[in-house]
Structure 1
């Protein structure tokens, strides 16, 4: 049989299905937005004299905010984005200590809803000034925190405080204008800036991961003769940070600025395994045991461009 006679027989059922039958069936549309929560550890780690590092937190935060309009285009998005960028405090008591305004440290594209023209006008005319206001307020927070040191209860932050900053990950609704069912995926991303050392009491519920515990793990691992640090740590429950009572299934966690105190001033390790290698294993296990499906831990980087590239790559995997 000639192929030109076969083709219409193949195409016809497809055309019938597309034009056909169920005229009441609604179109489904998938959209994705990011809820980016920047949570800096404002403990004594921000003292650059005590714990020097290549870049100050404020430069890294500004780098993310400066790319807000670029991130709106991530995953080929072109309109209707509802991304949110905001600072969240691990210790929210700082908000009661001075006149900081959380609204100045928030950029919220969801306020425009379906009004794309308003969103475009905001990006073109007002976003840059809001970026500057965001950065200025963050600088004020760091200046204040440097003079008024408080502990950072990271365990309780993930167990309790973070709840009010997360958004519903997959609401479904009907767009009455287009009569389409919209499956909306909100992706909660926690950008935690910390050195990884947990030295507060954590209200007795969490864990202390200070130099003493790290040295204890290092000595035990080296004495064990085992080669896999992750496996070694997993086999001893006394090394584990207690998992949170709150399930972190809706949180994707990017941990940055871990400064390895076991390195010398030239970046050469004085001991093996290094502090960072031990901390990374323990943090990843803790957060995954607590329900988080995506966790990435990176050391302090030398350039803000490198930091942003790492963060952007993490977003692309979600």
Structure 2
């Protein structure tokens, strides 16, 4: 009897050790080194929030661009597995990729099935269930069909928005809607005698916007000096005219000297948020891309947004101009998020 029990115990010990070592080794797929005793290592899981600005920027005649928003979103969805889920982590991924609207009212306005526009991999109780889903072996749900449903729902949403524009209050969105219901700031810590492992979240907002902040908050009543809640074409023109009249030689110096900017957001959770704004549309350019004025709308938009995000305490910010291809956009996305392409 003992001859049978001892090998079984030994096998269980070996398998258990392999699982622990394998788990530690998933901290960074680029490194084969295991953790030293009492060393703290971190795993970052992705919490990616896709936010469409459903304003008149979707009007193809007013804002013609080579690539539709749906194509850009589709490219991100196509990279969920294996690129995003296996980015430095090989198992037990709680990553989430979902659509969030600038206002909750949009869900009813367009009769959106919000559950279709969400991939939440924390819902799986174990890795086997997760793998069965991703490899389309789960009768309860198949990844490929869910991807198709997501893409289709998002395309329908954009088409409906083109027919009936609802606008977007971007200032209020960042100030009020970005909260702990969509941003994950917790750190799950695993303490063992041999290693310490921290599970964190990388919160990324991909905001599809032309950069013009227009939500009905116009006029002097919504300005404090040269600080504003909106950034319309008219305000940009006024800023350009005053800059030219000032005889200043540097636009940043003029901006700072006279206290221009968007009113900073009052939202502490933004310190844990990284914002990628896609794709700023420069209305001052000709259809062929030539500047009609200097500084251009695009230069002024970037000036205001960079200052706004910095003064609001956003962890990281970058704006993207109109891209000519999906590959160009994905290069920007990979660089910003730090996602490694396998």
Question: Shorter-chain-normalised TM-score: which range?
Answer: 0.7 to 0.9
Which residue number in structure 1 is paired with residue 202 of structure 2? 187
Q: Aligned partners of 2:237 and 2:339: how far apart in 1?
A: 34
Q: Aligned partners of 1:90 and 1:100: how far apart in 2?
A: 14
Which residue number in structure 1 is paired with residue 322 of structure 2? 300
2:236 is aligned, of 207, 210, 214, to 214
More moved, 41-50 vs 157-166: 157-166
SS at match of 1:249: helix
Q: Once the two structures are superposed, what CA deviation does each residue of 1:179-229 show, in whole Å capped at 9, x if it has no partner? A: 964311101100000001122234948522111111122222233343432
- CA distance 1:317–1:202, change in 2 (3 Å): farther
Equivalent residue runs for 1:33-72 within 5 Å: 33-69=45-81, 70-72=83-85
Which residue number in structure 1 is paired with residue 16 of structure 2? none
Asked if 2 retains the 8 angstrom alpha-carbon contact of 1:201 and 1:207, the reply is no
TM-score with structure 2 setting the length: 0.78
2:121 is aligned, of 88, 94, 109, to 109
More moved, 240-249 vs 96-105: 96-105
Asked if 1 retains the 8 angstrom alpha-carbon contact of 2:43 and 2:200, the reply is yes
Unaligned runs of 5+ in 1: 1-24
Which residue number in structure 2 is paired with residue 97 of structure 1? 109
Q: Give the alignment's Cα RMSD to 1 decimal.
A: 2.4
How many residue pairs end up in the alignment?
290
Which residue number in structure 2 is paired with residue 73 of structure 1? 86
Q: Aligned partners of 1:166 and 1:291: how far apart in 2?
A: 18
Asked if 1 retains the 8 angstrom alpha-carbon contact of 2:84 and 2:339, the reply is no
Q: Aligned partners of 1:229 and 1:118: how far apart in 2?
A: 56
1:84 is aligned, of 96, 107, 111, to 96
Q: Once the two structures are superposed, what CA deviation does each residue of 1:24-79 show, in whole Å capped at 9, x if it has no partner? A: x86744211010000010011111122211111111111111111112233x3322
Which residue number in structure 1 is paired with residue 11 of structure 2? none
Which residue number in structure 2 is paired with residue 3 of structure 1? none
Which residue number in structure 1 is paired with residue 20 of structure 2? none
Unaligned runs of 5+ in 2: 1-36, 137-141
Q: Aligned partners of 1:279 and 1:49: how far apart in 2?
A: 21
Q: Aligned partners of 2:95 and 2:234: how far apart in 1?
A: 41
Which residue number in structure 2 is paired with residue 17 of structure 1? none
Q: Aligned partners of 1:27 and 1:277: how far apart in 2?
A: 46
2:184 is aligned, of 144, 168, 185, to 168
Equivalent residue runs for 1:128-207 within 5 Å: 128-174=144-190, 181-202=196-217, 204=222, 207=229
What is the Cα deviation at residue 243 of structure 1?
0.7
SS at match of 1:163: coil
Asked if 1 retains the 8 angstrom alpha-carbon contact of 2:47 and 2:184, the reply is no
